[in-house]
Amino acid sequence: MRLILLGAPGAGKGTQAKKLVSKYTIPQVSTGDILRAALKDETALGVKAKAYMDKGELVPDEVVIGIIKERLVQEDCKVGFILDGFPRTVNQANALEDTLNKLDQAIDHVLEINVGNEELVDRLTGRRTCKDCGAGYHVSFNPPAKEGTCDKCKGKLYQREDDSEATIVARLKVYSDQTLPLTDYYKSKGRLTAIDGVGSEEEIFSRIDAVVSC
Ligand code: AMP
């Protein structure tokens, strides 16, 4: 199963990707996670990406396309994958198509998770993540039992640097200017399904699963 999750920052792509990983045992491929790991390790890639990520801008296409080309040929992606946060531009989508054609593979479903802008801002400003196990929380909608501490592993919770209010506004604009054209791109290929992204995590997962399981 090869899936693309489209949706604005805060739409729930990462959360739903993790649920798909546990049900279908295929890897989640998140360019955002790969870039954040590079940033943490201060690799050349991380240093290059940091300036863009801090401002909420997209990292240049050739950089993320390179990451994806390397990632999709790894052994664990042979059984399928869930792309979370890639592609984000039409240029990236074309590069993905070329890469998959060469591997004799195709995308099965593109799921666009839709959430209104006001709710996106509320979700992103309150988002907290465990620095050890990556579990996600929200200060109001899904708070941990003890403030700042992960319920699952007792790790410390942190707020992503790009989840500040100013950067969120920039990221939402980048999404509507550069990523939203992918809706028409995949619609014209007959592969797009719109998913209502408002509701509980389980409700949204069952909407997604109803599409991918048939
Ligand atoms: P995310 O975790 O998907 O919200 O991504 C965090 C940041 O990483 C974005 O705001 C971009 O700066 C960068 N990024 C992640 N994926 C991509 C991509 N496909 N193209 C360009 N930049 C990306």
Q: Which atom of ligand 1 is nearest to the CA of 33?
A: 2
Report the nearest-CA residue for atom 12 of ligand 1: 53
**d(Cα 46, Cα 43) in Å, to the nearest integer?**
5
Q: pLDDT per residue over 85-142, tens digit each?
A: 999 999 999 999 999 999 999 999 999 999 999 999 999 999 999 999 988 999 999 9
Locate the domains of the chain by residue range: 2-116+178-208
Give long-range contacts, CB 8 A cutoff, 24+ apart: 180-184: 181/90, 182/6, 182/87, 182/88, 182/89, 182/90, 182/93, 183/6, 183/112
Asked if residues 11 and 197 have their Cβ atoms less than 8 Å apart, the reply is: yes
| Residue whose pair of structure tokens reads 């004799």 in the numeric block | 104
| Residue whose pair of structure tokens reads 């907290």 in the numeric block | 128
**d(Cα 165, Cα 121) in Å, to the nearest integer?**
8
Query: What is the Rg, in whole angstroms, of the alpha carbon atoms belonging to the chain?
Result: 17
Tokens of 177: 């200017």
Which segments in the chain show pLDDT lower than 70? none
Collapsing DSSP to helix, strand or coil, 193 comes out as: strand
Q: In the prediction, which pLDDT does 161 show? A: 87
**d(Cα 159, Cα 131) in Å, to the nearest integer?**
9
The residue annotated as part of the active site, out of 19, 71, 88, 128, is 88
List C-alpha distances in Å: 61 to 8, 58, 79, 122.
Answer: 18, 8, 26, 29
Q: How many CA atoms lie within 13 A of 96 on its CB side?
A: 25
Match domain 2-116+178-208 to its CATH number in 3.40.640.10, 3.30.230.70, 1.10.760.10, 3.40.50.300.
3.40.50.300
Report the nearest-CA residue for atom 14 of ligand 1: 32
List C-alpha distances in Å: 209 to 23, 27, 54, 213.
Answer: 9, 16, 34, 6
The alpha carbon of 23 and the centre of ligand 1 are apart by a number of angstroms equal to 25
| 17 CB within 6 A, ligand 1 | no
| 127 CB within 6 A, ligand 1 | no
The residue annotated as part of the active site, out of 48, 160, 187, 191, is 160
| Residue whose pair of structure tokens reads 């969120």 in the numeric block | 168
